[in-house]
């Protein structure tokens, strides 16, 4: 089975044309006509990721984040991006990135956050007006929770070591907005639709003032909010390949064992 056939399946879930204009998605390294040995699915593609692919005889890395984001002016190993690209090329390993194409999918990153939290009745937080895509999700708990119980669930299910949140409002949490990755841009939207809480990451100091005693803002960390994306992709590929490509079965798809979070907590 060729790389192109695998990426065709991925693009059924997250078409590349649905990615944001600033993004760099698709096949970043490699030839799409290469026969696939095994597939490694990861959140980030680092040197340890390529080493893991080599160990597991994977010649295709399916990554959420693109390792090559802006243009490369040279390829001499002077930084981590170049070293990853060089090592991948030297070992005939292809790299395919999904990023905002998957962010915009109804069954993408934010949908997985809803699943982890047990939220139901989800809809796009910021829908696209012309296509059935959008950023973030709005959903709800089957039963309302106290704010403290809600924060504890976030900490436990996302294994979050450093949750930051705005002032508690002494009200129950039922209607929740979520957005994987950097989501400060959607705070006002979450408030306008009367969400009880908004969960995302990369909020700056002044972003928390925007809560204005109207909503509970929670920053669980960038990696933490997106970490289950690789599980989503492994499950998706397993279903697709089992149904349509039995010659390449589940034993050929590996969930990366590396924690690529660059942030440490004391």
Give burial (CB, 10 Å; 0-12/13-18/19+) of 40.
Answer: buried
| Domain shared by 108 and 220, yes or no | yes
Q: Do residue 124 and residue 142 come from a single domain?
A: yes
Identify which of 129, 86, 125 has the alpha carbon closest to the alpha carbon of residue 109: 125
Please give the average per-residue pLDDT across 132-144, as a whole number: 97
pTM of the model: 0.94
Please say whether the beta carbons of 104 and 128 come within 8 A. yes
Torsion angle of C-alpha atoms 177, 180, 183, 186, degrees rounded to 10: -30
- Domain of 19, CATH number, reads 3.40.1390.30
Give every CB contact of residue 57 below 8 A, 6+ residues apart in sequence: 37, 38
Whether residues 154 and 72 fall in one domain: no
- At 178 the three-state DSSP class reads strand
Q: Which domain holds residue 157?
A: 104-225
> Same domain for 90 and 110?
no
Return contacts of 186-191, CB within 8 angstroms, 24+ apart. 186/125, 186/126, 186/135, 186/136, 187/211, 187/215, 187/217, 189/125, 189/126, 189/136, 190/125, 190/138, 190/215, 191/215
Same domain, yes or no, for 24 and 50?
Answer: yes
Q: Is the pLDDT reported for residue 244 higher than 70?
A: no
Q: How confident is the model at residue 71 (pLDDT cuts 50, 70, 90)?
A: confident
Q: Is the pLDDT of residue 34 over 80?
A: yes
71 and 31 inside one domain: yes
Residues 138 and 215 in one domain: yes
Q: Is residue 261 part of a domain?
A: no
In a domain, 264, yes or no: no
Is the residue at 40 inside a domain? yes
Verify that 240 and 202 share a domain, yes or no. Answer: no
Q: Is residue 260 part of a domain?
A: no
* Count of residues in the chain: 266
**Does pLDDT of 81 surpass 60?**
yes
| Full strand arrangement of the beta sheet holding 216-219 | 120-127, 134-145, 173-182, 197-201, 216-219, 164-165
pLDDT above 90 (res 243): no
Query: Mean pLDDT over residues 110-114, rounded?
Result: 98
Task: Answer yes or no: is pLDDT of 249 > 80.
Answer: no
Domain count, the chain: 2
Q: Are strands 216-219 and 39-42 parallel, antiparallel or unpaired?
A: unpaired
What's the mean per-residue pLDDT of the chain? 95
Helix (H, G, I), strand (E, B) or coil at 34: coil
CA distance 137 to 193: 12
Chain segment 219-240, per-residue pLDDT in tens: 999 999 999 999 999 999 999 8
Cβ atoms of 137 and 123 within 8 Å: the answer is yes
Q: Is residue 266 part of a domain?
A: no
Q: Give kind and range of the element (H or E) at residue 101.
A: helix 99-103
On whether both 162 and 207 belong to a single domain, the answer is yes
Mean pLDDT of the 211-226 span: 98
- Determine, yes or no, domain membership for 141: yes
Q: Please report whether residue 263 resides in a domain.
A: no
In a domain, 172, yes or no: yes
Average pLDDT rounded to a whole number, residues 46-53: 98
Residues 64 and 131 grouped into a single domain = no
**Under 8 Å between Cβ of 203 and 163:** no
Whether residues 42 and 149 fall in one domain: no
Q: What H or E segment, with its residue span, contains residue 188?
A: helix 187-192
What single-letter DSSP state applies at residue 36?
Answer: P
Instruction: Tell me: do 23 and 117 sit in the same domain.
Output: no
What's the mean pLDDT in 62-85?
94
């Amino acid at each position: 089975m060729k790389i192109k056939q695998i990426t065709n399946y991925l693009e059924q879930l997250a078409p590349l044309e649905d990615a944001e204009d600033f993004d760099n998605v698709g096949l970043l390294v490699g030839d799409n006509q290469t026969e696939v040995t095994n597939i490694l699915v990861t959140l980030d593609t680092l040197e340890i990721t390529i080493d893991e692919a080599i160990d597991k005889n994977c010649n295709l890395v399916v990554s959420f984040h693109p390792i090559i984001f802006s243009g490369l002016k040279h390829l001499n190993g002077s930084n981590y991006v170049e070293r990853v690209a060089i090592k991948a090329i030297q070992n005939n390993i292809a790299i395919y990135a999904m990023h905002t194409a998957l962010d915009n999918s109804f069954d993408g990153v934010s949908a997985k956050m809803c699943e982890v939290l047990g939220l139901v009745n989800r809809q796009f937080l910021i829908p696209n007006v012309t296509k059935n895509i959008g950023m973030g999700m709005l959903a709800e708990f089957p039963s309302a929770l106290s704010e403290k119980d809600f924060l504890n669930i976030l900490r436990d299910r996302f294994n979050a070591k450093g949750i930051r949140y705005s002032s508690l409002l002494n009200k129950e949490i039922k209607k929740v907005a979520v957005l994987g990755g950097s989501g400060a841009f959607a705070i006002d939207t979450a408030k306008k639709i009367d969400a009880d809480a908004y969960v995302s990451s990369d909020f700056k100091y002044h972003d928390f003032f925007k809560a204005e005693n109207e909503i509970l803002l929670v920053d669980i960390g960038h990696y933490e909010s997106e970490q289950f994306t690789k599980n989503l992709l492994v499950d998706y590929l397993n279903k697709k390949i089992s149904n349509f490509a039995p010659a390449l079965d589940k034993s050929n798809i590996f969930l990366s064992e590396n924690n690529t979070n660059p942030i440490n907590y004391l």
